[in-house]
Amino acid sequence: LVKGEQLYEGKAKKIFATNNPDLVIIDYKDDATAFNGEKKGQIESKGVLNNSIATGLFELLEKKGIKTHFVAKLSDREMLCRKVSIVPLEVITRNVAAGSFSKRLAVAEGTALKTTVFEISYKDDALGDPLINDYHAVAIGAATWKELKTIYKMTDKINQILSAFFWDRGIKLIDFKLEFGKTADGAILLADEISPDTCRFWDAKTNEKLDKDRFRRDLGNVQEAYVEIFNRISK
Ligand code: C5P
């Protein structure tokens, strides 16, 4: 396998072509952003940690029957993945109130929810990733009804698998964001990453935050939180 030209540079990752048209290499950076790119910084070794964490979680999900873009971990910062076109939706699952849900609806962070909440946002930096509903998504051509059905079914299963996995390791999975991609033949795969950049993880005993909120809110010990998640999932 030969690493080719850079296809795309995102906020936390770069994507490279390979000599196989169906495969790309994802390179995890240390860059951290928040609030739609308004806050910028670096978290030392974040790329290495997130590549390892995402690898562990993709392997877990594949073992449980979820189709993902993950193929193999290639190096400290590089992951080999199936090439997909990203469905332009951020799919957010909330098990406990936090973040923008708490702010928008004035529900204290940490409040238990009477049902799991699934939200979708339209992936568009210029618009600030607006919260939309299923009708909006279909109306603008972001996804079809059938694709949404598949995405929600996969998301619910992923939530069950990850919530149980983290609970066994003393971590509450508060909420998380997923992205999905489509292969050339139309199959929907879990794509992007799953890491402390994209999930809220609270210590089950102390409720200490072990995720990117430490960066967003200047809580300190940011790298330590990522290392802690890495250590707990490596058990
Ligand atoms: O900010 P908000 O409460 O909507 O975030 C919900 C979840 O989605 C959090 O776990 C956050 O890390 C994740 N998220 C993300 N990328 C975004 C927005 C949210 O990974 N652009």
Question: How does the average pLDDT of the chain come out, rounded?
Answer: 98
Mean pLDDT in residue range 198-202: 98
The pLDDT score that the predictor gives to residue 114 is 98
The pLDDT score that the predictor gives to residue 119 is 98
Residues of the chain with pLDDT > 70, as a percent, come to 100
Which tops the pLDDT comparison, 36 or 24?
24
The pLDDT score that the predictor gives to residue 235 is 80
pLDDT at residue 232 tops 90: yes
pLDDT tens digit string along 84-137?
Answer: 999 999 999 999 999 999 999 999 999 999 999 999 999 999 999 999 999 999
Q: How far is the CA of 62 from the centre of ligand 1 (A)?
A: 23
Tell whether ligand 1 has an atom less than 6 A from the beta carbon of residue 92. yes
Domain range summary for the chain, segments of one domain joined by +: 3-82, 85-221
CATH number assigned to the domain with residue range 85-221, chosen from the 4 options 3.40.50.10490, 3.30.470.20, 2.60.120.10, 2.30.30.100: 3.30.470.20
Residues of the chain with pLDDT > 90, as a percent, come to 99
ipTM above 0.90, yes or no: yes
Q: How far is the CA of 139 from the centre of ligand 1 (A)?
A: 24
The pLDDT score that the predictor gives to residue 39 is 98
Q: Which atom of ligand 1 is nearest to the CA of 176?
A: 10
Would the pTM of this model clear 0.95, i.e. be above it?
yes
Q: Which long-range contacts (C-beta less than 8 Å, at least 24 apart) are formed by 21-26?
A: 21/83, 22/82, 22/83, 22/183, 22/184, 23/71, 23/80, 23/81, 23/82, 23/83, 24/80, 24/81, 24/82, 24/83, 25/74, 25/78, 25/79, 25/80, 25/81, 26/78, 26/79, 26/80, 26/81, 26/193
Tell whether ligand 1 has an atom less than 6 A from the beta carbon of residue 101. yes
Q: Which atom of ligand 1 is nearest to the CA of 174?
A: 10
pLDDT tens digit string along 159-188?
Answer: 999 999 999 999 999 999 999 999 999 999
According to CATH, the topology of domain 3-82 is: Phosphorylase Kinase; domain 1 (3.30.200)
